[in-house]
Chains A and B, each alone.
Chain A
């Protein structure tokens, strides 16, 4: 994994942990955890995540990309970001 990818991973993990799990305990979030199945994100949370991707990582999410395959876990997000930055 490159440094950029590692930074992205930590950035995303911290964003989810602090804002939706209300903790800094890294053990509370696995990269494979589904945001939908675990109830981590609601409709506003998804919108905030999309905003976060735009603001922090300059990733623009198009309407047809708003699907769980791209957005529903840290792993899915990292793969999506990699694809967008390729």
Chain B
């Protein structure tokens, strides 16, 4: 994980020159991403700055890096895990290398294959490349959105950086909040790509390449999640499990390539347990694991972690998160997320990366992505039950399957099913809606909008769902409903929230790099061909993964009911836990000063929260969403 930033003049009429001092200031904003080294390159057309976290080829991988003739220059954040194989192939084709780094491989790949170079990369990356011979500038981001990359256009210049805060030194008029994006976050938990919470600041979307040539900016998608029922594998379930097993082991092994020690996150859930078991059996490195524990029992998974640590004899460190830690670390967390959040779950993740760094580790493998790729989330199960129910929407028998999904569910119901249908039967009449799987979540989240000010409500177009629909491909209509749910989840919540606010940002804040074997594109492409019936057998989630990996894990890990990772939102944000500083951001005067929310309603929300009454999910999301928005305005606008 590194930090990159830069400027390119896109208009020949631009009179703005690129100042090295500005490039330096941009890099200084993201020093946490790469505290080990820095580098700047600047000519009349482009300027690059780089902050390096040294992981591969510690002695000679400095950036910006150039081709021997210096006609190609590049800054790069991330890792190319197959760089050894790519390097060997390129040497066979006559390329000569000066360093052992993966960065140099990218330059030679570009020389060999032009813009198709990205198809050869197996990794996580955000790359800016300048080809001075062709007068071509390229910005490209990895397939699924692990490494962040933002840009904006101003005065004939394109300004880009790994984090939005690094754009600021180059902006004449600073940042302004985008209210339409705020509405997207208060619907989908995250902006619809390529939007960000700031006006005129965009992300390079996962799998997208931007090319500027002759003053023209062109964008194309070089990769996407593809699902086709015609492509489903015809082999047996056990053959598919075996193939998945082998692929995952290779995806894990190449992610252990580093010139520094590599650790792993262990939550106690299936995915991280599988990952840790693979490192233990096939990694050839000492097993070093890190976990979070929570002082509130309902959030803690210690017993499962202990079981696995004992089983695999791992060298383990853990961090106990206390309720008061959430509020105490909230502001610095939001400074890193650079976007409003609706749950406090990123806060402990930032604390966990601090533990990793304190133990002199720079790299961790995590199990992120397994739920999206292999079908693990409750939202997939819920959609399956709702599909089954929708066949006969008036059935009182069909929705009883919900009890299997949520054993702890206590629903007010007379047996007539009125409330059950109202609260869980969202869109039962529209089973063919391409967003059927996600409508209940979006409807629930959108209830937080009741705290909008009248002015904000009047100003918004109310078209967030249309924006989401326009971002989805036509091919979605032909997909199996299970695959549709996977697609939407991967492109919205995973890329927009889990890999950013809860992922990269919480790792990078403490100069730690995360690596994600389940998001190896070979694993994704294979998994997308697995028939849904093998991914979720009945309501047994990640069936094929369990089948593939059962031999390495204790039965209690394989058989446990999935527990989503959560932090104690409500308690942490109320009473004495909240603290004066955060409470000030929620005061009527501060709320009314920014004008986005209704100060009086927020006052009653706080009163309810402080009274100890349980907040509903939308109320809790509203509280965290409002507070984080207030903090964003305070820190960035």
Contacts and interface: CB of A to CB of B under 8 A. Distances in A.
A46 B413 CA distance: 10
Secondary structure at the B interface, as helix, strand, loop or mixed, is: helix
A45 B451 CA distance: 17
**Chain B CB within 10 Å — which of A43, A48, A61 has the most?**
A43
A63 B604 contact: no
B392 to A, nearest CB: 21
Nearest to B602: A22
Contact of A68 (B410, B411, B418, B614): B418
Contacts of B617: 42, 44
Given A23-B604, A42-B618, A68-B418, A48 B613 contact: yes
Interface in B440-478: 444, 447, 450-451
Given A36-B422, A42-B444, A42-B616, A22 B412 contact: no
B601 A22 contact: yes
A35 B59 CA distance: 66
Interface residues on B, range: 20 to 34
Given A42-B618, A47-B410, A22 B415 contact: no
Interface residues of A, number: 23
A79 B444 CA distance: 30
Contacts of B601: 22-23
Contacts of A24: 604
Interface centre among B422, B450, B614 (most CB of A within 10 A): B422
A86 B395 CA distance: 35
B401 interface: no
Given A44-B616, A47-B410, A66-B412, A22 B450 contact: yes
B419 interface: yes
B608 A67 contact: no
Interface string B600-615: 1110110110000110
A18 B604 contact: yes
A3 interface: no
B444 A48 contact: no
A66 B419 contact: yes
B354 to A, nearest CB: 34
Contacts of B422: 36
Contact of B614 (A23, A44, A46, A64): A44
Given A44-B614, A47-B410, A64-B414, A18 B608 contact: yes
A22 B451 contact: yes
Interface string B406-450: 000011111110110011000000000000000000001001001
B395 to A, nearest CB: 18
Nearest to A71: B412
Given A43-B423, A44-B616, A45-B616, A18 B607 contact: yes
A50 interface: yes
Contacts of A19: 604, 608, 613
Interface string A44-71: 1111101000000000010111111001
A50 B412 contact: yes
A48 B410 CA distance: 12
Contact of A42 (B416, B423, B607, B613): B423
Interface of A: 18-19, 22-24, 36, 39, 42-48, 50, 61, 63-68, 71
Interface of B: 410-416, 418-419, 422-423, 444, 447, 450-451, 598, 600-602, 604-605, 607-608, 613-614, 616-618
5 contacts: A18-B604, A23-B604, A44-B614, A47-B410, A66-B413
